[in-house]
Amino acid sequence: MGTQAPTDDNYNRAEIDEKLAKQKKIDEWLPITGSRNAKWWYSAFHNVTAMVGAGVLSLPYAMSNLGWGPGVVILVLSWIITLYTLWQMVEMHEMVPGKRFDRYHELGQYAFGEKLGLYIVVPQQLIVEVGVDIVYMVTGGKSLQKVHKSLCSDCKNIKLTYFIMIFASVHFVLSHLPNFNSISGVSLAAAVMSLSYSTIAWAASVDKGVVENVSYDYRSKTTSGNVLNFFTALGDVAFAYAGHNVVLEIQATIPSTPEKPSKGPMWRGVIVAYIVVALCYFPVALVGYYIFGKSVDDNILLSLEKPNWLIAMANMFVVIHVIGSYQIYAMPVFDMIETVLVKKLNFKPTRTLRFITRNIYVAPLHNVACHLQAKEVQLVLVVQLYLHLSWCSFDDSSTYRRIENDHHSSQDLQILQLSPSPPFPKKDTRLLQDASQKRKKENEAVDDDDGELI
């Protein structure tokens, strides 16, 4: 009795089983789908870390541009609208039976098609996530610099670039954590820190008391200035309520069955997260504006000034928070890069591959952050000059105060103290030319000295 020859169906079934096994192995290696044992409270502090950033410290400044009535309405509406849209994302994660949209581009592909979905979603998501990581790298460096200045005001000033390097060095280590659940401890610490420095901001303001001659009038004395400030404040509030672009990836870490879908524990965590968001945002925005009025700085910690140890502590909390936020936003990018390498380019999913790709991601972002903080003065100056020439009534005092706080050594800033009322005066142009000629002569003198030494 002979053996039965294998049929084409058996070959096809074996091939399908092999592909499924390979796909499962890859999914278990990728950062988003590598671990699906998260609890509902993971969702809570991941969402807090993703949403509550250093932008909360600028909410009193936004209130000073919005005013009491519009400011309170916009804060409340933003809280309600973002909660509703987040609920929609949670529901859409498993809206197709038997399928989970673990990544934003998968949901986009379902809505717009395989190729068009990628073209629409991926560029926007990368811009947001990479951009936020760059901003957080600069923010972390600036906060470290403020800690140094607060604790050692008599010490020699250290360039912001070095503090950004210190901040980046942390991520050269943390970025090698394999998946979302592995950064849960970092994310929890970041969520606690966000609540802590928010509490310090409004509690220290209450302790300081209402400043003398407080005013709640609009900052600018002109209509055009108030309109521009109003839209700037809307941007500040929108930035503070950001964080939805990692919701699907967070929910992907929660286990799901037909009887107990992941949207249940995810939504429970979201509710807790939004309670924490309210406890952070509303007291800081309302108390900060009530205490300082329109004189509040774009970072309320700058308005507090003293005690130094408290300001240093709050800025250190900001550093710890943005470390966790950086990892939350970086993890989906790691997943995209590693998915392309393993699924499209057929690299083997190894630790070496992960080590190389993640270092390649962190290093260029560090360089961009260092160059960004050096070039931002020139960028802001150009924008301010253009606005000054176009709208002579533009109130630019707050922006220059912000630049001076971060860049004390800039000689041009001492010259370009533009008056908000008249057009760009000729004497300022002559001063700028004289300063340029003076620097040119100083450089020539330095070159001559170098020549003599040689």
Please, what is the end-to-end C-alpha distance for the chain in angstroms?
98
Dihedrals phi, psi of 418, to nearest 5 degrees: -75, 140
**pLDDT value at residue 390:** 39
What pLDDT, on the 0 to 100 scale, is given for residue 8? Answer: 57
Predicted local confidence at residue 398, as pLDDT? 36
Measuring CA to CA, how many Å separate 222 from each of 62, 217, 218, 295, 391?
17, 12, 9, 17, 10
Residue 289: closest CA among 206, 223, 231: 206
Residue 333 banded pLDDT, cuts 50, 70, 90: very high
**Dist CA 246 CA 335 (whole Å):** 12
Asked if pLDDT for residue 437 goes beyond 70, the answer is: no
Taking only the tens place, the pLDDT of each residue in 10-23 is: 657 776 767 777 77
Q: How confident is the model over 44-65, as a mean pLDDT?
A: 87
Q: What average pLDDT does the chain have?
A: 78
The predicted structure's pLDDT at residue 299: 79
Residue 258: predicted pLDDT? 83
Q: Considering only 352-356, 361-365, 396-400, which range has the smallest mean pLDDT?
A: 396-400
Output 98 or 80, whichever has higher pLDDT. 80
Q: Residue 136 — pLDDT band, cuts 50, 70, 90?
A: confident
9 falls in which pLDDT band (50, 70, 90)? low
pLDDT at residue number 310: 83
Q: What is the pLDDT of residue 427?
A: 43
Residues of the chain with CATH 1.10.4160.10: 28-383
CB 285 within 8 A of CB 293: no
The larger pLDDT score, comparing residue 42 to residue 7, is at 42
CATH code, 28-383: 1.10.4160.10
pLDDT value of position 265: 92
Query: What's the rounded mean pLDDT across residues 239-268?
Result: 88
Please give the pLDDT value at position 6: 55
Q: What angle do CA 414, 416, 420 make, to 5 degrees?
A: 120
The whole-number pLDDT of residue 207 equals 86
Q: Per-residue pLDDT for 109 more than 70?
A: yes
Mean pLDDT value of segment 214-220: 83
222-242 mean pLDDT: 86
- Stronger pLDDT, 171 or 366, i.e. the higher one: 171
Say what the pLDDT of residue 4 is: 53
Six token digits for residue 142:
């600036």
Give the pTM: 0.75
Q: Quick one: pLDDT at residue 225? A: 85
pLDDT band at 381 (very low <50, low <70, confident <90, very high): very low
Provide the total of helices (H) and of strands (E) in the chain, helices listed first.
17, 0
Helical pair 40-51 and 308-339, crossing angle rounded to 10 deg: 110
What is the pLDDT averaged over residues 369-384?
50
H or E stretch including 144?
Answer: helix 114-151
- Across 75-89, 95-109, 438-452, the highest mean pLDDT is recorded for 75-89
pLDDT at 5: 52
pLDDT in tens, 309-326: 888 888 899 899 999 999
- Please say whether the dihedral angle defined by the alpha carbons of residues 158, 161, 162 and 168, taken in this order, is positive or negative: positive
Average pLDDT of span 235-259: 86
Residue 411 has pLDDT above 50, yes or no: no
Judging by beta carbons within 10 Å of its beta carbon (0-12, 13-18, 19+), is residue 16 exposed, middle or buried?
exposed
Q: How confident is the model at residue 27 (pLDDT cuts 50, 70, 90)?
A: confident
CA-based diameter of the chain, in Å?
Answer: 108
Q: In terms of residues, how long is the chain?
A: 454
Is the pLDDT assigned to residue 7 strictly greater than 70? Answer: no
Share of the chain above pLDDT 70, in %: 78
Q: What share of the chain has pLDDT > 90, as a percent?
A: 24
d(CA 226, CA 65): 7
